Structure formats: structure tokens, C-alpha cells
Structure 1
């Protein structure tokens, strides 16, 4: 019996449409690295490989551990992404809102999690009219560490008073979402194919299920 479902946002319940890469390109440009530069392709490859990770952690890696540069890069990324959201480049994955509603109607609690900052997460939720769609929303700074660490899932378990982590199901579009769920002890750690990573990558990470979309999650948990 599933008591809590922890869902990723961008790529899982919210369409990404390349927004992360566009915001990254703008942010790293402020650090003097542009498309066509020798370092750009390697940086973009790392961003793609680590989709789902806390963005400040990504910039720390990309900028060689220079904390001031990493924070500046992350701030520029968040500004760029928020600007794209404010311009209307934000839409739900088809059926995601209905799935969340069905889960909650069945007595299952729902938490939405993301690697973005609270400000960016709130902008996305406001743009979609999702302020009250879930029982809880969490960002890395509110949980401890971002993915692939288990903190986001475990924080949701604690805040929503879940008795057994084995009754938790997680779903996300990246290998880091899968690892986060598995490391937290979730009974189901599903990957979805609407975002960053393909079936082979999700299965290699240990996904218990690989679903075409979050729309398939209720059936996967027996709802």
C-alpha cells in the first residue's frame, strides 16, 4: 500500500522543453563561456548527465569549486529560468495534474520536489496554478542535500508523518531521481520517459519501473 508519492517537477510533472539548457547557456555566458568555446560542450554534457541534481552543486563542479563563481552562476541560471517561466514557457506534462488529484483523492499524500531554488519553484507553481496542488513542495535547501542524496524524499517522509519508507513511491525523469528514491528506501523508484534520460539510463540506475509518463504511475502502484 503506497502512502506517499514523491514526484519530480521539470521533466516529470512539468514540461522542460529545453528550458534548463537555455538557462544554463545564459548563466555560463555570464562567466565568459559561450557556445562554440572549447569548454562549452563539456559543460553542457555535464549538465545533461546531472539533470535532477541541485543546480548549485552542478555549478560548483563546472567552475572548479570556486564558491563565489558557483553562486554567481547559479543565481544567473535561476534568473534566466525564472524569466523563461514568466514569459510563459511553462506547461504541465499532459495528465500530471489529474494524476496528482487522483492520488490525493485516494488518500495518498503527494510531494513535489525539484533541484531549483524555492523562488524558481514557486514561480513555476504560480505559473501553472499549482500552489495548492500537492501536500508538500520541497527544494534542496529545505531538505539538506539535493539529489542523488536521499534527503528530499526523507524530508517529505518526516514532514508528512509517513510511518514506513517502504510505502513511498517516487517518480522522476533522471537517473538522480531514481537514485534518490532508492537511497531513501522507497518501495517504488520509477523513471519516466518525458524528460532528460532514456530507458537504458533509468534502468541502469536501478529504476523499479520505467513509465512512458507520470500518467502511468497510478496503474503501476495499483491504484
Structure 2
């Protein structure tokens, strides 16, 4: 007698690059922040920092700046403030936009009885401003930043916090999706049944191949059908 695997009941989705269009805004904000902490554009140090920022996309922004400043808390905080101010300025000018079909995908998963939680490396203030701009207040019942969970990606803390907050009874009922290797590592370390990469953000299939994952999707719009196909039928 075979036993069906438990149905997915919790879906954790990254924001920038996964459910929210980036359009280069995150990287542009990093350039501004690097200048603020004394890493001037055109220098070797600036170029190395940009490479590091690309490699660590999806991680807690304050932790990225701590690494770039050698643990200097004051400079890291300055860089993080400059980053968020630049990102907020760009978002206000251009308007935050969803990845096409993201809201519909979230609604489809919720209608199927799944909890949907947004996770991000942004601070709660920036995260909530994006959600308000998108008009997703009634669509998203829970959104988490590293400050809400302990550590940011690639640690599993935000995913496990979502599990606890939603009362989901097993990591085998957890699916997570994101556009970076940090998203996938966090999902793997949390023991998620699904760790899905999406091609709408910063990292590529070549990057995804370097970390554990279960699926690669063209966009988040493919996730509801994937989860429906994997759920037990009886």
C-alpha cells in the first residue's frame, strides 16, 4: 500500500524579481549605496562590490552591507539606509509593478486552500510600501523580512517563521519560489518539498544549477498548476 505525500498548504514567494518587477532598480540602488559608503564607481573595490551584490541577490540587505564593510556596523547601516532611500525613490517615480500575472497566481493558490506568504530581504518599511503601492493589502495576509524572523536568506528562518505563523504542520507541506540562488538555498535548508526557481529576476539557469532545487519555471504564473499537479488526488 502506497502513501500519498501531504498536500502543499504553505507557499512562500520572494518579492523583487519573483512577484514584483525589478527592472534593474535593486542594482541601481546598490550603486547609490556603494557610493554612500565610500566605494566610488570606477574603482576596483566598487566593481568587486557590485559582483558581490549580484551574487548575493535575495539576501538580507543589511547583512550584505555588513559583509561589504568588514563588519563595520555604522557603515553598514549607512549603506542600507542609502540603498532603501534610493530604492524607494525609484519605486515612487516609476511605481512598483507586479510580475505579469503574479496577483492572479497568488489568488489561485489561495483559492485552492493554500496560505501564501511573501518573503524579502527588504526592511519591513520598504516591503510594506511596495505592498501598499501594488494594492495587495487584501491579497497578502502575511509578509516577512529578516527582521521578523532572525536571519535572512540563505538561512531558512523566514520560511520556518511562515510555517509557524500559519500553523502549517510540516515542512513537507511547504513550497517556496524565488529568482535567486539564495531563495533556493533557504528553501532547501528549510526542508521544503518544493524549491522552485523562476526566470524573471536576476539569476539564470546556470546559477540555479549550482544549488539544490526541484523545478525551474518561466515565471510564478506556472506555480499554481505545478502545485495542483503534485497534490494527492484522494
Give TM class, smaller chain: over 0.9
Give 1:222 shift.
2.1
| Counterpart in the other structure of 1:74 | 80
Residues 1-80 of structure 1: matches in 2 within 5 Å? Answer: 1-80=7-86
RMSD of Structure 2 on Structure 1 (CA): 1.0
Give 1:33 shift.
2.0
- Say whether residues 1:197 and 2:197 are aligned partners: no
After superposition, give the CA deviation of every residue in 1:184-213 in whole Å (9 maximum; x if it has no partner): 111001000000110121132111000000
Q: Note if contact 2:39-2:45 (Cα within 8 Å) is conserved in structure 1.
A: yes
Give 1:86 shift.
1.4
Give 1:34 shift.
2.4
- Say whether residues 1:83 and 2:89 are aligned partners: yes
TM-score w.r.t. the length of structure 2 is 0.93
Q: Note if contact 1:203-1:210 (Cα within 8 Å) is conserved in structure 2.
A: no
| Counterpart in the other structure of 1:142 | 148
CA distance in structure 2 between the partners assigned to 1:135 and 1:37 by the alignment: 44
After superposition, give the CA deviation of every residue in 1:72-109 in whole Å (9 maximum; x if it has no partner): 11111111111111112421000000000001111111
Structure 1 residue ranges, 4+ long, deviating more than 3 angstroms after superposition: none
| Counterpart in the other structure of 1:107 | 113
TM-score w.r.t. the length of structure 1 is 0.97
**Structure 1 counterpart SS, 2:209:** helix
Which range moved further: 22-31 or 143-152? 22-31
| Counterpart in the other structure of 2:160 | 154
CA distance in structure 2 between the partners assigned to 1:162 and 1:88 by the alignment: 37
Q: Note if contact 2:11-2:115 (Cα within 8 Å) is conserved in structure 1.
A: yes
Give 1:140 shift.
0.4
Gap regions ≥5 residues in structure 1: none
- Say whether residues 1:186 and 2:200 are aligned partners: no
Q: Note if contact 2:95-2:133 (Cα within 8 Å) is conserved in structure 1.
A: no
Larger Rg: 2
Q: Note if contact 1:140-1:152 (Cα within 8 Å) is conserved in structure 2.
A: yes
Q: Note if contact 1:174-1:195 (Cα within 8 Å) is conserved in structure 2.
A: yes
**Structure 1 counterpart SS, 2:228:** coil
After superposition, give the CA deviation of every residue in 1:35-76 in whole Å (9 maximum; x if it has no partner): 212211100000000000000010011111111100111111
**Structure 2 counterpart SS, 1:2:** coil
Q: How many residues are treated as equivalent by the alignment?
A: 223
Give 1:139 shift.
0.5
- Say whether residues 1:98 and 2:67 are aligned partners: no
CA distance in structure 2 between the partners assigned to 1:190 and 1:51 by the alignment: 16
